[in-house]
Amino acid sequence: MAVHTVLKMGDPRLLQVSQAVEDFDTPELHQLIDDMRQTMAAYDGAGLAAPQIGILKRVVIFGVEENPRYPDVEPVPQTVLINPQIEVLADTQQGMWEGCLSVPGMRGYVERPDHVRYSGYDQFGQFFQREATGFHAIVLQHECDHLDGILYPQRITDMRQFGFEAELVAQNADEEDSEGAS
Ligand code: NI
């Protein structure tokens, strides 16, 4: 069990298409999931894809606990998802300022389908299927993009809506201040 270094944008491994998992319930796969969980926790992430630690397999994990400090983020079930398939269920999109452990310190505004059905396998080879909306749908799609070598900056349609998190937070605070003052 080990916390791995998360690869950063610029590392060519993050641009590769990952391979499907063929053998389930193996020591190697359980080790990979353990390592990913520890790494995600150490980096305080909402999700992690195997290629982010240099393993080019179609494995993602994600999950967000209910947290009173962040009341506007809905809880997302702790999930291990292998060889995922995603089906878009609605034409409507939702936008969010996304971040990524592989693009540290930055945020970008990305729009994605807001209602999807996804399916895949857990680490024991058990098939499952779920529907997702809201933040759950965003995290899922963001993580699965990693399996196809796509990082969220490639999904930003207006590059003016991309920047350093600290600056964006400061700008927001300024706007709220001025609104409050007017
Ligand atoms: Ni990411």
DSSP the chain: --PPPPP-TT-GGGGSPPBPP---S-HHHHHHHHHHHHHHHHTT-SEEEGGGGT--BSEEEEEE---TT-TTSPPEEEEEEEEEEEEE--S-EEEEEE--TTSTTEEEEEEEESEEEEEEE-TT--EEEEEEEHHHHHHHHHHHHHHTT--GGGG-S-GGGEEEHHHHHHHHHHHHHHHHH-
CA distance 36 to 40: 6
CA distance 23 to 25: 7
Rounded to the nearest whole angstrom, what is the distance from the C-alpha of residue 48 to the centroid of ligand 1?
6
Rounded to the nearest whole angstrom, what is the distance from the C-alpha of residue 27 to the centroid of ligand 1?
26
- Spot the catalytic one: 22, 74, 143, 176: 143
Residue 26 C-beta-side C-alpha neighbours within 13 Å: 7
* pTM tops 0.85, yes or no: yes
Rounded to the nearest whole angstrom, what is the distance from the C-alpha of residue 87 to the centroid of ligand 1?
20
pLDDT at position 178: 52
* Dihedral sign from CA coordinates of 153, 159, 161, 165: positive
Rounded to the nearest whole angstrom, what is the distance from the C-alpha of residue 56 to the centroid of ligand 1?
14
The tens place of each residue's pLDDT in the chain, 182 residues long, gives 699 999 999 999 999 999 999 999 999 999 999 999 999 999 999 999 999 999 999 999 999 987 666 677 789 999 999 999 999 999 899 999 999 999 999 999 999 999 999 999 999 999 999 999 999 999 999 999 999 999 999 999 999 999 999 999 888 877 655 544 44
pLDDT at position 70: 63
Rounded to the nearest whole angstrom, what is the distance from the C-alpha of residue 102 to the centroid of ligand 1?
6
The rounded radius of gyration (Å) of the Cα atoms in the chain is 17
pLDDT at position 182: 44
Is 65 in the active site? no
Query: At 106, which amino acid appears?
Result: M
pLDDT at position 73: 76
